[in-house]
C-alpha cells in the first residue's frame, strides 16, 4: 500500500515578467486517491506482481508441516520525474525547474493466501523515500548538460527510513484501502496525477509573477 504522497514542482522564468508555474501532483484534484494499492498490475487486487504462475513476488509455500521458515525479499524502486522546462501559458515564456519535493510513504505487507483463498497478513514494513532539491540554470537557456544546472539537495528533505513489524498491520488506512470497492493501482494514480499537469489541467497553476510563492500543501 502507498499511504501518503507529497509531490510538487515549482518553475520560474528567467526574468520577472516571465512568470512561474506550480505543479501539484500530490493533492486533489490531480491525485485522485490518497491511499492506493501499490501493485504492478490489476490481475490480482492484493499481491504485488502476479505476472504468470511463477511471478516475481507470488510464491507457493512448500506443503511442509508448520512451523515454516520462509525467506522473503521485497524490492521496489519508486520513481518520478519532471520536465526541466515548461512554457508558461500566461506569459508565453519558458519557465525553468526551480524546486521539487517528493515524499512517498508505503506499508508493505507480507501476506499469504491459504488453500481456502483466505488471505492472512503476517508482518509489515513502513518505509518512505524523500527527495527535496532546488535547481538553478547556470546559463540561459539551459541545455541538457548537467553543467547547465546547479542542483542543490535540501538536507532533511532527502533520504529514506523503514521500520519492520512482525505482526499484521493495524493501520486504519490499510483496512480501508483493502476493503472492497473501486480502486486504482498506485501506478495509475501517479500517472493520472502527472497527466493533470498538462496546460489546462487541474494540477497546474500558472502565474504572471516570477516570484510567486505557492502554498505547497494545497
Q: Which residues of the shown chain bind other proteins in the complex (CB under 8 A)?
A: 2, 25, 36, 38-41, 43, 48-54, 56-57, 75-81, 104, 106, 185-195
41 or 89: whose CB is closer to other proteins? 41
25 or 210: whose CB is closer to other proteins? 25
User: Closest separation between CB of residue 216 and other proteins, Å?
Assistant: 18
Phi-psi region of 117 (alpha: psi -120 to 50; beta: other; left: phi over 0): left
In 3-state terms, what secondary structure has residue 192? helix
Cell numbers at residue 9, please? 514542482
Cell numbers at residue 20, please? 512561474
User: Closest separation between CB of residue 107 and other proteins, Å?
Assistant: 13
User: Closest separation between CB of residue 15 and other proteins, Å?
Assistant: 30
50 or 95: whose CB is closer to other proteins? 50
Total count of residues recorded for the chain? 218
104 or 109: whose CB is closer to other proteins? 104
Q: Could you give the C-alpha distances from 163 to 38, 106, 212, in angstroms and in order?
A: 18, 11, 38
For residues 109 and 174, give the distance between their C-alpha atoms in angstroms, rounded to a whole number.
Answer: 10
User: Closest separation between CB of residue 184 and other proteins, Å?
Assistant: 9
Amino acid at each position: 500500500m502507498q499511504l501518503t504522497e507529497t509531490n510538487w514542482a515549482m518553475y520560474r522564468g528567467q526574468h520577472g515578467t516571465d512568470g512561474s508555474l506550480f505543479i501539484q501532483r500530490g493533492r486533489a484534484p490531480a491525485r485522485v486517491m490518497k491511499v492506493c494499492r501499490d501493485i504492478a498490475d490489476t490481475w490480482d487486487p492484493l499481491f504485488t506482481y502476479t505476472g504468470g504462475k511463477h511471478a516475481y513476488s507470488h510464491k507457493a509455500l512448500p506443503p511442509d508441516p508448520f512451523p515454516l521458515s520462509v525467506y522473503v525479499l521485497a524490492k521496489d524502486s519508486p520513481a518520478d520525474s519532471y520536465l526541466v522546462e515548461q512554457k508558461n501559458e500566461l506569459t508565453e515564456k519558458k519557465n525553468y525547474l526551480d524546486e521539487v519535493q517528493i515524499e512517498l510513504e508505503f506499508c508493505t505487507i507480507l501476506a499469504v493466501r491459504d488453500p481456502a483463498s483466505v488471505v492472512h497478513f503476517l508482518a509489515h514494513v513502513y518505509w518512505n523515500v524523500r527527495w527535496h532539491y532546488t535547481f538553478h540554470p547556470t546559463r540561459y537557456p539551459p541545455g541538457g548538460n548537467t553543467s547547465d544546472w546547479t542542483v542543490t539537495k535540501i538536507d532533511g528533505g532527502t533520504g529514506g527510513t523503514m521500520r519492520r513489524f512482525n505482526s499484521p498491520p493495524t493501520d486504519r488506512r490499510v483496512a480501508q484501502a483493502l476493503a472492497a470497492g473501486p480502486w486504482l493501482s498506485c501506478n495509475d494514480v501517479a500517472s493520472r496525477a502527472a497527466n493533470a499537469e498538462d496546460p489546462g489541467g487541474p494540477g497546474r497553476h500558472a502565474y504572471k509573477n516570477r516570484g510567486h510563492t505557492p502554498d505547497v500543501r494545497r
